[in-house]
């Protein structure tokens, strides 16, 4: 057992050497590292957001509103189909179950069903009597939600990119969630502000006949709606709501650019339409001079300027009571485009750069001290063998770093705790072996025999003990989130590498010692 074949010894040394080479970049300053393309390893351990500072946000896309919107549109096309066939009908409130239309005359119902049956592929028709309900099947529904999600991810990416931070990560999670991670962000409230808004902007004409207050008392004229005003100037003038035409004059989808700028010393947002949008905008502003044009953002009127003259260039400015920051954000949101559906922030975890740095330092001190304690104690307890175990321990730490660098696993604060814990536990294998050797010596075995038996008998125990801890680590990894995953990763890696270093490396060291010195006494 203590005899190492040449290739086996070489293998152990090779693993150690690789560990050193791959761990090395972590101890070098960033600017002397070889470039990614060179053959030399250049990857450092990935620090988690809790250590480098940054924001983690979990967003949920309101897919219900996508479905509802889609059924609204479907109901519209059903109604226009029925109108063409001169079947009188009335719409129903859009639900999540499908687009619902009621046919007014019972005798039309059969004919209407025939017309609507194949109005769109992947739809199912149901409903009784005069009610017709058309819903999408699972395939179409999944595709609808999938598309909304990937669009949302795209818009979120464009918005986050505008913040100009390095390496943001935007990932889809499950059916309707998005995880955004932005390292090195000083002010999470900015991120919150730009992620929390849908930024759907549309231009509507303000209704000329009635004011919102009149409409409230005497009923809404057809084709109009009341929207609240978000303009501070309006509020000062006593205007809280606007009565506006439902019809969208120009939609935000036609925007091609938007920039913050100044007008008469006040921050405003300029915008530019594409050709189609510009033409429509010019058309409406020529025809409706004297009326007001409401700029509606996410269901609120941000301003409603009077149209004084036709705006033909396809561009304009939005005035309002903006601060510089607000004008910047609005321009950013308009540039990045609207989300297909509203989003909510379900979870946020942000760490400032100062705290991250403090945590790294605290973790380093604790790790070094823990290491020193354990190293000293092993030497006191096991003498020469303790030193071997300590060499294995150091090697283990290097291997953990190397594996984490290669896998690009993320090191978090609990992850540092995991490393410190493996320092304590890594020596366990050696403790098991050495205690066993002591016992075997007491039972009167020769040195070589005792060492041999020690390694052999301790082996199954070491395996059992480590596998059970590994089970806990794996479960933690699959259920845990963020920082806890980091803990599970270092714990699992530490357990696996410790089995190599504590068993093979110490055995090699002991074998070399025995071969060179041929000791006839073992102080243990």
Partner 1 sequence: MKPLHLIPDDVNVPFLKFRKIFYIVSLVMVLASVGLFFTKGLNFGIDFRGGILVEIKTDGPANIGALRDNLGSLGLGDVSIQEFGEPDDVLIQLQRQDGDEKAQMTALAQVTEALGDSVTIRRSELVGPKVGDELKEAGIYSVVISLLLIMVYIWFRFEWQFAVASVIALLHDVLITIGFFVITGVQFDLATLAAILTVAGYSINDTVVVFDRIREYLRKFRKMELTDLLDLSINSTLSRTTMTSFTTLLALIALFAFGGEAIRGFTMALIFGIVVGTYSSICVASPLLVVLRLKRKIPEGEEGQEANA
Given CA atoms 69, 70, 72, 77 in this order, what sign does their dihedral have? positive
- Write down the least CB distance from residue 350 to partner 1, Å: 5
**Smallest gap, in angstroms, from Cβ of residue 460 to partner 1?**
6
Question: Between 261 and 443, whose beta carbon lies closer to partner 1?
Answer: 443
CB of 290 to partner 1, least distance (A): 39
Tokens matching residue 54: 């940054």
Query: What minimum distance in Å lies between the beta carbon of 510 and partner 1?
Result: 15
Smallest distance, partner 1 to C-beta of residue 368, A: 8
* Residues constituting the chain: 524
The residue among 100 and 440 lying less far from partner 1, judged by its C-beta, is 440
Of 238 and 354, which CB lies nearer to partner 1 in the complex structure? 354
Please tell me what DSSP assigns to residue 100. Answer: E
Nearer of residues 318 and 421 to partner 1, judged by Cβ: 421
301 CB-near residues (< 8 Å, 6+ apart): 227, 228, 229, 230, 231, 234, 242, 244, 294, 295
Residue closer to partner 1 by CB (options 205, 437) is: 437
Nearest CB to partner 1, comparing residues 152 and 258: 152
Let me know: does 109 contact 93? Beta carbons within 8 Å. no
Sequence-ordered alpha helix ranges (H) in 85-196: 109-117, 138-162, 188-195
Classify 56 as helix, strand or coil. Answer: strand
State the alpha helices, DSSP H only, in 48-92. Answer: 49-52, 63-84
Q: Are 506 and 434 in contact, with CB atoms under 8 Å apart? A: no
User: How far apart are the C-alpha atoms of 346 and 59, rounded to whole Å?
Assistant: 6
- The nearest distance, CB 155 to partner 1, in angstroms, is 19
* Smallest gap from residue 495 Cβ to partner 1 (A): 9
**Phi-psi domain of 482 (left: phi exceeds 0; alpha: psi -120 through 50; beta: other):** left
Which residues are CB-contacts of 123 (< 8 A; sequence separation ≥ 6)? 74, 134, 135, 136, 137, 140
For residue 182, the cross-strand partners are 55
Q: Which is nearer to partner 1, 253 or 326 (CB)?
A: 326
Tell me how far, at minimum, the Cβ of 195 lies from partner 1, in Å: 10
**Other Cβ atoms closer than 10 A to 362:** 12
Q: Please, what is the minimum distance in Å from the beta carbon of residue 76 to partner 1?
A: 30
Pick the closer one to partner 1 by CB: 274 or 347.
347
Q: Which is nearer to partner 1, 250 or 417 (CB)?
A: 417
* Residue 310, SS3 per DSSP: coil
Q: Coil, strand or helix: which one is 96? A: coil
Q: Are 345 and 59 a contacting pair, CB within 8 Å?
A: yes
């Amino acid at each position: 057992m203590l005899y190492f074949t040449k290739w086996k010894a070489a293998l152990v040394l090779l693993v150690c050497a690789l560990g050193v080479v791959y761990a090395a970049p972590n101890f070098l300053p960033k600017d002397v590292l070889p470039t990614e393309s060179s053959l030399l390893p250049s990857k450092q351990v990935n620090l988690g957001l809790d250590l480098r500072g940054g924001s983690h946000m979990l967003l949920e896309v309101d897919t219900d509103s996508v479905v509802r919107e889609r059924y609204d549109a479907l109901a519209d096309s059903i109604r226009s189909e029925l109108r063409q066939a001169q079947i009188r009908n009335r719409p129903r409130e859009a639900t999540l179950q499908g687009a619902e239309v009621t046919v007014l005359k019972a005798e039309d119902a059969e004919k209407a069903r025939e017309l609507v049956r194949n109005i769109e592929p992947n739809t199912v028709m149901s409903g009784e009597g005069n009610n017709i309900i058309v819903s999408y099947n699972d395939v179409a529904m999944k595709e609808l939600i999938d598309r909304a999600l990937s669009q949302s991810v795209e818009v979120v990416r464009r918005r986050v990119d505008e913040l100009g931070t390095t390496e943001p990560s935007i990932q889809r999670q499950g059916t309707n969630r998005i995880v955004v991670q932005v390292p090195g962000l000083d002010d999470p409230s900015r991120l919150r502000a730009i992620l929390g808004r849908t930024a759907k902007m549309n231009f509507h004409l303000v209704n000329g006949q009635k004011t919102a207050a009149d409409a409230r008392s005497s009923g809404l004229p057809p084709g109009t709606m009341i929207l609240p005003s978000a303009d501070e100037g309006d509020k000062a003038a006593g205007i809280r709501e606007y009565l506006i035409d439902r019809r969208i004059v120009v939609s935000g989808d036609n925007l091609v650019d938007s920039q913050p700028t100044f007008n008469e010393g006040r921050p405003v947002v300029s915008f530019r339409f594409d050709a189609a949008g510009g033409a429509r905008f010019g058309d409406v502003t020529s025809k409706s001079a004297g009326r007001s044009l409401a700029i509606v953002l996410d269901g609120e009127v941000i301003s409603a300027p009077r149209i004084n003259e036709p705006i033909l260039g396809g561009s304009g400015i939005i005035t309002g009571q903006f601060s510089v920051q607000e004008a910047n954000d609005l321009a950013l949101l308009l540039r990045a485009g609207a989300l297909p559906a509203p989003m909510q922030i379900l979870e946020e975890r942000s760490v400032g750069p100062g705290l991250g740095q403090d945590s790294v330092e605290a973790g380093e001190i604790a790790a070094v001290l823990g290491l020193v304690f354990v190293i000293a104690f092993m030497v006191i307890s096991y003498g020469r063998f303790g030193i071997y175990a300590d060499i294995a321990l150091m090697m283990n730490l290097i291997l953990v770093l190397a594996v984490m660098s290669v896998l690009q696993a993320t090191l978090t604060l609990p992850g540092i705790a995991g490393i410190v814990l493996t320092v304590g536990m890594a020596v366990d294998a050696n403790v098991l072996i050495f205690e066993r050797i002591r016992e075997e010596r007491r039972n009167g075995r020769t040195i070589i025999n005792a060492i041999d038996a020690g390694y052999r008998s301790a082996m199954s125990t070491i395996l059992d003990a480590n596998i059970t801890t590994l089970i806990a680590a794996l479960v933690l990894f699959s259920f845990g989130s963020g920082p806890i995953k980091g803990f599970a990763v270092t714990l699992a890696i530490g357990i696996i590498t410790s089995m190599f270093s504590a068993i093979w490396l110490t055995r090699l060291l002991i074998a070399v010692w025995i071969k060179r010195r041929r000791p006839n006494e073992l102080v243990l």
